[in-house]
């Protein structure tokens, strides 16, 4: 059984690594964004509570988010473990799940300038969704998708200004949650500035250690 968290700033590769971990270790990927959308779609009591805040432009309180997470991981598909992505985002949220017997926290660390280059220079095909980077993975023709010839565009939240807001939020709030788990010996720091295969190799090594500790 692997009950895991994956943490790291925006653009560190949490989504990409989560997909590989969940496929290889056969555990569900629980993204808080997907979880919120599902609760709203199903019109559950928790979903209604969340909607009452969101419709007013307010942040969903911790107690509602925490209740959603605990409800989700109580399902049968989480019986053999799970990977939480995007939660916790703050120290109070981390403390609220101290009873979940988390096995490991994968902490993706990356140089901030590299992160800026990854996000701000990212371009996406408006037609097929292919992803490019003007520095590390440029298209053959500027602004044109190699695969389908579609227009490449920059997402509105990929600007430097918006990334700075997300990074500041991470450092000011989420870092305290990482430190909380570090004090409990659960954090495995991974250099997310490497090539993807190298990042995943290091994650596998960390999880092999975790599983060895469980035996």
> Is 126 labeled as catalytic in the residue annotation?
no
| Residue among 3, 72, 89, 123 flagged as catalytic | 89
Rounded CA separation 50/62 (Å)? 10
| Residue among 3, 72, 118, 122 flagged as catalytic | 122
> Is 89 labeled as catalytic in the residue annotation?
yes
Q: Are 30 and 82 in contact (CB under 8 A)?
A: yes
Rounded CA separation 201/190 (Å)? 10
| Residue among 155, 184, 196, 201 flagged as catalytic | 155
- Residue 172 CA from chain centroid, whole number: 17
| Residue among 14, 72, 118, 123 flagged as catalytic | 14
> Is 122 labeled as catalytic in the residue annotation?
yes
| The dihedral sign for the CA sequence 93, 100, 104, 40 | negative
> Is 184 labeled as catalytic in the residue annotation?
no
Q: Is 141 exposed, middle or buried (0-12, 13-18, 19+ CB in 10 A)?
A: exposed
The stretches of 43-191 forming alpha helices (DSSP H) are 45-54, 62-73, 91-96, 112-120, 160-169, 175-182
Q: Which residues are catalytic?
A: 14, 89, 122, 155, 166
């Amino acid at each position: 059984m692997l009950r895991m968290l994956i943490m790291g700033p925006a653009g560190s590769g949490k989504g990409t690594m989560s997909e590989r971990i969940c496929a290889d270790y056969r555990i569900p990927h629980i993204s808080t964004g997907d979880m919120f959308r599902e609760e709203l779609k199903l019109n559950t009591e928790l979903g209604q509570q969340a909607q009452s805040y969101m419709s007013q432009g307010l942040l969903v309180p911790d107690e509602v988010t925490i209740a959603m997470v605990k409800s989700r991981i109580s399902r049968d598909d989480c019986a053999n473990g799970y990977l939480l992505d995007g939660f916790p985002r703050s120290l109070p949220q981390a403390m609220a799940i101290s009873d979940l017997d988390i096995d490991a926290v994968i902490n993706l660390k990356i140089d901030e300038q590299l992160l800026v280059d990854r996000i701000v220079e990212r371009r996406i095909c408006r037609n097929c969704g292919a992803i490019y980077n003007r520095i590390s993975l440029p298209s053959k023709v500027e602004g044109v998708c190699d695969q389908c010839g579609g227009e490449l565009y920059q997402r509105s939240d990929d600007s430097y200004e918006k990334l700075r807001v997300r990074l500041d939020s991470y450092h000011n709030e989420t870092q305290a949650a990482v430190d909380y788990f570090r004090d409990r010996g659960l954090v495995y720091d991974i250099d997310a500035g490497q090539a993807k295969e190298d990042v995943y190799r290091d994650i596998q090594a960390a999880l092999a250690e975790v599983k060895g500790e469980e035996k």
